[in-house]
Structure 1
Amino acid sequence: MRKKILSCLIMSILCGCLFGCSGNSSTDAAKEPDEHVDSSAADTSEDDSSGIPSNTSEPFVGRADLDSETSEFFYGTWKVDKLLGFANSYNDASEYPTGQKIIGDEIIINEDFFSSKGLKNYSDYQYELKNSLYEITIICYNEDDFYRNFKMDLPDINMDDEIKGIEVSDSSTGFGIPVSFLDVNNDRLILVLEATAFELARVTE
Structure 2
Amino acid sequence: MRRFILSMSGVLLYIVIAVITYWLYIHSVKVDVVLYAAIWACCLALLVYAAIILALPFSSQFSSLEKAQNISICALIGYAMALTFPTVIDRSLSFYILEKLQQRGGGIQHQRLDLVFREEYFREHRLMDVRITEQMQSGTVFIDQTNCLRLTSRGEHLASFSRFFRSNFLPPQRLISGTYSKDLIDPFAHKTAIPRYLCEK
Scaled to the shorter chain, the TM-score interval is under 0.3
Query: Which structure exhibits the higher relative contact order, with contacts defined as CA atoms closer than 8 Å and separated by 6 or more residues?
Result: 1
Structure ranking higher in strand proportion: 1
Please tell me whether Structure 1 or Structure 2 has the larger radius of gyration of its CA atoms. Answer: 1
* TM-score normalised to structure 2 length: 0.21
